[in-house]
Structure 1
Amino acid sequence: MISDQAWADAQRLWDFQQMGHEVRPCSVAIGLGSHDLGVADTTADLYHRGMAPLIVFTGATSRTTRDRMPRGEAEHYRERAVELGVPAEAILVEPHARNTGENIRFSRALLEEHRIPVSSVLLVSKPYEERRAYATACKLWPEVEWVSASARMSLTEYVDSIQDARLVIDMLVGAQQRLMIYPEHGFMTEQHVPDNVAAAYQRLREAGFTSRIVPDVVA
């Protein structure tokens, strides 16, 4: 059972992750690979709305996705987007990245390899990782303008779509931890964390939602 306090704390982390950017046309959309095919759906929708002429899907596999996406997250995303009517020629696949930093660095390299000029990027992620992805992208590719995007849904709707509440809360805790410790290691830009958000994060850690945290000291 997940307590009312844990749900309230998860909601606070969820709300903090939302960047609230107004989606607008950009040079390219980058869909960050994960266990959630909804990222591919959102990216395809943005393409159809004329928000980007080109999509990059990026991601290898992880412990969460190796069974359900055996061909790699980016490839499964590509297949999903094509099913949704995106032309195959409008999609580039970056199949090697295994974390958010590699998603950004490898996608940039792929776009440069194809000599595609980029001044702005629609960064499409899971709803609970908007801020983490944005902070990483701004650090690693500061020359472009980043616009965060994700599926417009509530925490409850997202949990219902994933059908694993504990996994979602664990992921929220993991994303928040990285926001708090990665800037000092040069992995992302500093993000001001309000006291009530930090307290919610700490309570969730103490309640055992820790399967997606990393060691606080990063080599």
Structure 2
Amino acid sequence: MISEQVWADAELIWEFHQMHHEPRPCSVAVGLGSHDLGVADTTVDLYQRGMAPLIVFTGATSPTTRARMPRGEAVHYRERALELGVPPEDVLVEPNARNTGENIRLTRALLKDAGRPIESVLLVSKPYEERRAYATARKLWPEVEVLSASTPMTFMEYVDCIGDPKRVIDMLVGALQRLLVYPEEGFMIEMRVPTSALDAYQRLCDRGFTSRLIAPSAS
């Protein structure tokens, strides 16, 4: 049984992870690969609303996506985009990235090699990865404007979608830890974390929501 305090702490961290940016037209929409095909759907929706003339999907596979997406996350995302009516020439694939930093670096290189000048990026991720993706892009792609986006949904809607409350809370806690640790590793810019979020994070760690924590030296 998950207590009311745990639910409240998790929802507070969920809200912090989202940047609440208002989408506006950018040079490219970049969908970050994951287990969640909703990222592809949201990227396509933004493209079809005129928020970007070009899509890049980036991502290889991971232990959590290998069975579901054997051809790679970015490839499956592209297939989904084509099903939804996006012209093939408007979807590029970066199939090698295995973490957020590689998503950004390899996408940047892909667009440079393609001769596509980029001034702004609409970065599409899972809802609880918005802030982490933004902080990573600002560090590794500093010359462009970065806007974060994700599928609009509440915390409880996401929990219902995943079907595993502990897994979701573990992911929220792990994403916040990375915001605390990765700036020191040079992987992202430092972002202020309010005391309320830090206190909620510590309470959740103390209650055992720690399966997604990493050692400070991990990449």
1-structure distance, mates of 2:73, 2:121 = 20
1:85 aligned onto 2:85: yes
Answer whether contact 2:60 2:74 (CA < 8 A) is retained.
Answer: yes
Deviations 1:148-192 (A, max 9, x none): 111111001111122222221111111100001111111100100
Offset of residue 218 of structure 1: 3.9
Deviations 1:80-115 (A, max 9, x none): 111111112110011100000000000001001101
2-structure distance, mates of 1:203, 1:124 = 29
2:59 is aligned to: 59
2:116 is aligned to: 116
Query: What is the identity, as a one-letter code, of the residue corresponding to 1:93?
Result: V
Query: What is the identity, as a one-letter code, of the residue corresponding to 2:183?
Result: P
1-structure distance, mates of 2:115, 2:101 = 21
Q: TM-score, normalised by structure 2?
A: 0.97
Helix, strand or coil: the match of 1:146?
Answer: strand
Offset of residue 2 of structure 1: 2.0
Deviations 1:113-164 (A, max 9, x none): 1010000000000110100000000000000000111111100111112222
Tell me the number of residue pairs that the alignment of Structure 1 and Structure 2 aligns.
219
1:139 is aligned to: 139
Offset of residue 217 of structure 1: 3.7
1:200 aligned onto 2:200: yes
Answer whether contact 2:185 2:217 (CA < 8 A) is retained.
Answer: no
Structure 1 regions of 5+ residues with no counterpart? none
Query: What is the identity, as a one-letter code, of the residue corresponding to 2:89?
Result: E
Runs of 4+ in 1 over 3 A off after TM superposition: none
Structure 2 regions of 5+ residues with no counterpart? none
Listed as ranges, the matches of 1:177-196 within 5 Å are 177-196=177-196
Shifted more, 57-66 versus 209-218: the winner is: 209-218
Q: TM-score, normalised by structure 1?
A: 0.97
2-structure distance, mates of 1:160, 1:86 = 29
2:37 is aligned to: 37
CA RMSD of aligned residues (A): 1.0
1-structure distance, mates of 2:54, 2:8 = 38
